[in-house]
Structure 1
Amino acid sequence: MPSSASPALLVRSMRSLFSSFTTRHCQQFCFRVWWPGLVVSFHVAKGHHRAGLRDRVSNFGSIADVNNENNTKTRSFDVQPRSVPVHVAHALLQVGHQYLDVRTHDEFRAGHPSGAINIPYMLNHGAEMFKNSKFLEEVSSQFGKDDDIVVGCKSGRRSLMAANDLQSAGFNRVIDVAGGYTAWTENGLPIAK
């Protein structure tokens, strides 16, 4: 059986191969890759590789026609960060993505995915939690806007909010971990303390 990194490597190789194929041989090409627990669809059209790939691969967002300043119609994507199951997140880490753990420092110290970087999205203040006002600044000091970042928390709620904020701030390659650290440990994935 292939290693856990195989799905991400397969997806990257297939995208590269078929983008090149459509450029030279045809106007449009569609295909789907199945892997246990993972289905990735590609739609590649000549001159529109990235937009088609982004919309079809991630299965999120909506597309709308909008008028730009020259009063010509363009395509606009209303994009939400994509959420992936923990086993897909683990495979992405194996091929170079970095794990951003947005839980509190205490939660992180109790255990976290191996190699994770902790920058809390919410901070404890007594019995209440407040959004970390320096979150984006702290993330910017650790990550570049084009870095591949997997964002996780305890159950997936804070990480999705953090991923939305990061994407709005220009971080282009952010993926949310569905189920968070709870699902990570339930699936027996590597942890550190």
Structure 2
Amino acid sequence: MWSSTSVIVPCEMICNNAIAQQMLLSTTTNSRFPLPRRRSHTLTYNNYGHNSNLSWMATMENNNHVVSTSTTTSVNHPTSVPVRVAHELYQAGHRYLDVRTPGEYSAGHAAAAINIPYMFQVGSGMTKNPNFVDQVLTHFRKDDEIVVGCQSGKRSFMAATDLLSAGFTGVTDIAGGFAAWSQNELPVDA
């Protein structure tokens, strides 16, 4: 005969404390813009696709074994910053990875940006570059500080997410992409 005891534990207690510690770190700078703190945004999803960080997780204890009622997976999301902050990061030594198509890149790009397309133009649509991470590894180390930009910010966010999943640690997404970069009259090469 066995007995079970239900215990309700907030998901925040289960999540990695390193995230909370990293969020408390302060960055000092002479910038008039607040620079991002290096942190990994981790969202935990249960097997129904719901974000369990926003809910309570029920567990049952049976003979000193804790069993969770849901299966979880983690997805890392990059820090996104405005273009002026991205430019300051770039000036401080971060390298610029432009993930637009070669045609978009040749029409204009941030000075000294490295172009590795995240997606390729195929007919009227786009398809993901299957060798993207491998190609990035030929130009960057996994611990390099990288700002990732595209045309509007959507592809760069997806690319930065893939890089974090591949083990890159210093990835920052440029919100607004090259369109915002050029609108703010930041340095470009034609």
Partner of 2:107 in structure 1? 110
Q: State the distance in 1 between where 2:27 and 2:93 align.
A: 23
The answer to whether the 8 Å contact 1:33/1:40 transfers is no
Give the deviation of 1:128 after TM superposition: 1.6
Q: Which amino acid in structure 2 is aligned with residue 145 of structure 1?
A: K
1:96 to 93, 106, 109: 93
The answer to whether the 8 Å contact 2:76/2:161 transfers is no
Partner of 1:36 in structure 2? 32
Give the deviation of 1:36 after TM superposition: 3.3
Higher RCO (CA-CA < 8 Å; seq separation 6+):
2
Partner of 1:25 in structure 2? none
SS at match of 2:39: helix
1:54 to 21, 29, 39: 39
Give the deviation of 1:54 after TM superposition: 3.4
Partner of 1:23 in structure 2? none
**Structure 1: runs of 5+ lacking an equivalent:** 1-28, 42-52, 65-70, 72-76
Q: State the distance in 1 between where 2:188 and 2:112 align.
A: 9
Q: Bigger CA drift: 127-136 or 99-108?
A: 127-136
Q: Per-residue displacement from partner, 1:2-30 (whole Å, max 9, x unpaired)?
A: xxxxxxxxxxxxxxxxxxxxxxxxxxx87
SS at match of 2:80: strand
**Structure 2: runs of 5+ lacking an equivalent:** 1-23, 45-52, 54-65, 67-73
Give the deviation of 1:114 after TM superposition: 0.4
What's the C-alpha RMSD, in Å, of the aligned pairs? 3.1
Q: State the distance in 1 between where 2:82 and 2:129 align.
A: 26
Q: Does 1:189 align with 2:180?
A: no
Partner of 2:5 in structure 1? none
The higher radius of gyration belongs to 2
